[in-house]
Amino acid sequence: MKILLASSEVYPFSKTGGLADMVGALGVALAEAGHEARIVTPLYRGIREKFPALRKVDWNFYLPLGDKFVAGQLWELDYAPRLKIYFIEQPEFFDRAGIYHEKNISYPDNDTRYLFFSKCVVHLARYLPWQPDIVHGHDWQTGLVPALILQAKREGWGDAPRTCLTIHNLAYQGVFPKAVFALTNLAPDFFTPSGAEFFGFLNCLKAGIAFADIITTVSPRYAREITTEEFGCGLDGFLRTHAGKLTGILNGVDYAEWNTEKNRHLFKPYSVTQLAGKKINKRELQRQLALPVNEKIPLFGTISRLAEQKGVDIQLAALEEMLQADLQFCVLGSGSPEFERGYRELARRNPDKVAVRIGYDETLAHRIEAGCDFFLMPSRFEPCGLNQMYSLRYGTIPIVRATGGLDDSVVDYAESSKKMNGIKFYDYSARALAKAIRKAMAIYPNAELLKKFRQNGMRVDFSWKTTVRDYVKAYNSTNPPSSKLNITNIVRL
Ligand code: ADP
Ligand code: GLC
């Protein structure tokens, strides 16, 4: 199959969270499975310097945004066998210090930036000599792609590709004033309650849900959750209407990147049968973070965007209580100033127990995964979550709230006394989290039990093979455009 993936961030070129990891790895995995994959993404500041092999393609284009035309220039990189990456150069939109925001303030023109990007995706899909069978967009930034393709079909694009939209996080929908719709150049009938309109506003993600041939999200449980009022972010009813084309597919893990045996970031390699190296990683991490170096004290860690979703409020409250016990905690993250302050304050009051690193640091992320004994993810909701899966591979026991992908990927003792590999709690409360931390403290001194948890986790396989198989199945579940209408009509009749 020929698949064109489109995403506003792709690892290793740009990254603010798991979306980048997921799309980068999906591209590689599709190519490894024998498909032809290409990825299109914006050319952000710094990418050309970091990847000098990028080539300028002899192709620039002008695309309409309302009654104005904006110029774009194409760059490309042969990244792996059967995997090419396209970059859209538009200096005014993408050559900036941040991806979506600076100093916690969103760029005010994110609507036009990603509308332009979506138009570039469709332009490429249509005019590249390489014609994709599927255009697979990710999140609201590419939400308008299916509608733009449909409109081009109406205007005579006979063999237009089928479309897939993956929802990585329903909380971000790309909602903009109605006036922005004029910039899409879509026909007015796309702006209705059954399409892109959302209470008088333009909702890019909703447009994707309405017009994509298939919708996926990043775990089976999250696929069920988003059709409920509690997790539906106002779109649960709409998603229920489209439930027939919605599937949940758990993300895979890129084990070439996230492994403990060949990893330039780690102090010492280790493996499921050679666990000794993990102790050295713990010792060196404690040293690096200026925490007392002591093997006996359990070390808890978190790496996270510091956002509402991630359960920072209950984590701060639970730690407040639990820090009376003999434990250490470290966090790496950035985000809401209020949460950053909260952690800094905790560290100020508990300098021997808490280490806080505000910022983005890939090496430290690997070291925390390897050096900690337990990894905390008390998310309010979590579409998939990658860090708990990284933790499992690193022999670091995840403590998670049973929601979304966290529930799908971690096994608690209560679920299986043989396969258990983590600790789950259910209520979204500091009390429930503190109780889970207490359970971890009880497991820690029991060397045999601790080892069992670790080894069970390290043996779990979330490799991309299975995930890719499911995506290809999903792509194939859309009938070719010509036969599709008839079949749907027959079923409806
Ligand atoms: P989300 O995408 O919601 O942020 P995920 O668990 O899916 O959550 O993915 C987060 C990814 O971002 C992981 O690869 C994690 O290691 C990385 N990450 C998050 N914050 C930081 C940080 N401050 N420094 C380095 N990596 C980070
Ligand atoms: C989103 C979600 C996260 C998921 C990631 C990759 O950022 O918040 O749960 O793992 O996308 O799909």
Per DSSP, the residues of 290-331 read: T----TTS-EEEEEEEESGGGTHHHHHHHHHHHTTSS-EEEE
Residues of the chain with CATH 3.40.50.2000: 2-252+464-492, 276-459
> How many angstroms separate the alpha carbon of residue 367 from the centre of ligand 1?
14
What's the distance, CA 151 to chain centroid? 29
- Segments in the chain below pLDDT 50: 481-493
Amino acid present at 311: G
User: Which of the listed CATH numbers 3.20.20.10, 3.20.20.60, 3.40.50.300, 3.40.50.2000 matches domain 2-252+464-492?
Assistant: 3.40.50.2000
Nearest to 247 by CA among 136, 167, 162: 167
Residue 491 is predicted with a pLDDT of 34
Domain 276-459 -> CATH class: alpha beta
Ligand 2 center from residue 304 Cα (angstroms): 11
pLDDT for position 369 = 98
Residue 456: other Cβ atoms inside 10 A:
20
Give me the pLDDT at residue 480, please.
54
Q: Which pLDDT tens digit goes with each residue over 297-319? A: 999 999 999 999 999 999 999 99
Q: Both tokens of residue 188?
A: 């007015």
From 218, 222, 377, the mutation candidate for ligand 2 (largest count of ligand atoms within 8 A of CB) is 218
Which structure tokens are listed for 220?
């089976």
Is any ligand 2 atom within 6 A of the Cβ of residue 42?
no
Shortest-distance ligand to the CA of residue 16 = 1
Residues with CB under 6 A from ligand 1: 17-19, 21, 303-305, 332-334, 360-362, 365, 384-387
Cα torsion angle, 83, 89, 93, 98, sign: positive
Q: Which residues of 210-248 are buried (b: 16+ CB within 10 A; e: fewer)?
A: bbbbbbbbbbbbbbebbbeeebbbebbebbeebeebbbb
424 vs 343: CA distance, rounded Å: 23
Beta bridge partners of residue 89, listed in sequence order? 73
User: Which residue puts its alpha carbon closest to atom 5 of ligand 2?
Assistant: 18
Residue with tokens 């599937």: 247
pLDDT at 479: 63
Q: What is residue 489's predicted lDDT score, i.e. its pLDDT?
A: 31
> How far is ligand 2, taken at its centre, from the CA of residue 171, in Å?
11
Per the rule left: phi > 0, alpha: psi between -120 and 50, beta: everything else, 395 is left
Q: In the β-sheet with 354-358, what is the strand arrangement from edge to edge?
A: 354-358, 328-335, 299-306, 374-377, 397-401, 423-425
